[in-house]
Amino acid sequence: MVQSIVIVGGGSAGWITANLLNAHCQRAGRKTQITLVESPDIPTIGVGEATVPTIRRTLNDIGLPERDLLVSAEATFKTLIRFQNWNAGESYDHPFDRRRRPLTDDAVSRWTAQNNLPFDRSFSALTQLADDNVAPKSPRQAQYQGSFPYAYHLDAVKLANRLASFGRERGIQHRLCNVTDVTVSPEGLISAVNTDHGDALAADLYIDCTGFRSALLGGALGVKMRSFAKYLLCDRAVTMRIPYDVHKPERLLTYTLATARDAGWQWDINLQNRRGIGYVYSSAFLNEDAAEAALRQHEGRHCDQLEARHIRFTSGKRQVSWKGNCVAVGLSDGFLEPLESSGLYLIEFAGLAIATMLDDFAAAPKATARYYNRISDELYDEILGFLNLHYVISTRRDTPFWQAATADEAILDDLRDRLELWKRRSPTQFDFPGADRLFAQDSYEFILHGMKYVDGPVSGAPGVPDLSALVGKSRAELPEQEALLALVQRAAAVQA
């Protein structure tokens, strides 16, 4: 039985993992002591502001009430990503709602024959509701439940801070100190994490949440990286926070805006009290000063006095995620890039997987590590292929970056064969093996058709779903995002 776990590093990775493990152990009746060691001197990156719908399951699993999340993390509702200029001058959505798909349904094939209609608006109610800022749920619905799938935009630092207090209240030990070194046995197992408080923290399992430093798995255990830079060219980001007392948009968008730019792309995320913007770019085609200038110019003069933050990252993954009695979670294991908001999902996946494998690890540690490494590699490869798709099927060739991003050598080998098939037909379920995928047939359809990559059949009768009744009913019954958030804030104030 795993009786003790030491997590090194806080932030979103550390505190989501700690709370997931703690909740699972308590429900199972395990007396497992979880200790989180966090440096008071190392700031968290804190730019993971967009999530995918699994975050609702994760936070519900942890036990954090949804109202608590919305207030403490300044969260807003996210129902889709709106892509602009990935093909010059064009826009399309990747929404979270999934149209019903009977096995006999060939509506997609019939749609491609009459592709004068936008694919997203033909098959998604959310992409229409987003235009009117309609929230995905009503105040009468239970927490984490809605009329449509949804995720959140949130302040990752504030989320980590709330989960820290939430976890401490439920028995997680929190040590504020610096790790000075790690003791590794001759067998290659971590035997202690040593701190500047003179502690030698021993545990059955160690979890590395130290970010890009990867102090345990990469540092102490020497696990190297495998690079994805050939397929994902972006390796830098310049970010900025725009408080609403400096500049407030007309409404709080229910979607992430992802706008392609000359050397990458830019996000725009609306929280309750500020916007977060960021230019993700390739340092091979743009330097830091030029990237910041481009971000400021795009935003406008109101941001002249606001601080910009520069982030360097490497697209890649550790050769193994779990070695001996140490497993890395979050940036300490790997990172792809901010596109499609997979960063927090990778933390959710890892935390949940580790929680379900604690008994396996106690009984068969080597087999558990091998199995975890296999499913972790498969997940990273799956997401890598989906992100690679966004770039390589673009029709843009107007800058050196887009020429390189769409070059033949930038296409993943596994994706290359499927693209040859998809040029002639829409994806089918047989193109996506595996029972539990983050991005599968529906997601690929929205990207492929949104980018007008699929030629499709040349004949066929129209047969797209009629979403008008659903959209009309939703507009009548669901509040606008700002109205729903105002109700949440008032209810929280009364409760306080």
Task: Give the max Cα distance, the chain.
Answer: 75
- Residue 77 contacts by C-beta under 8 Å, 6 or more apart in sequence? 135, 136, 137, 150, 151, 152, 153, 254, 481, 484
Respond yes or no: is residue 323 known to be catalytic.
no
How far is residue 469 from each of residues 125, 253, 479, measured CA to CA in Å?
10, 23, 17
Catalytic residue among 31, 78, 317, 366: 78
CA distance 336 to 234: 9
| CA-closest candidate to residue 477, choices 152, 56, 125, 144 | 125
Tell me the angle at which helices 11-27 and 343-356 cross, rounded to the nearest 10 degrees. 30
Q: How many CB atoms lie within 10 A of CB 385?
A: 18
Terminal alpha carbon distance of the chain: 41
CA atoms within 13 A on the CB side of 374: 6
The encoded tokens of residue 68 equal 């608590």
Catalytic residues: 78
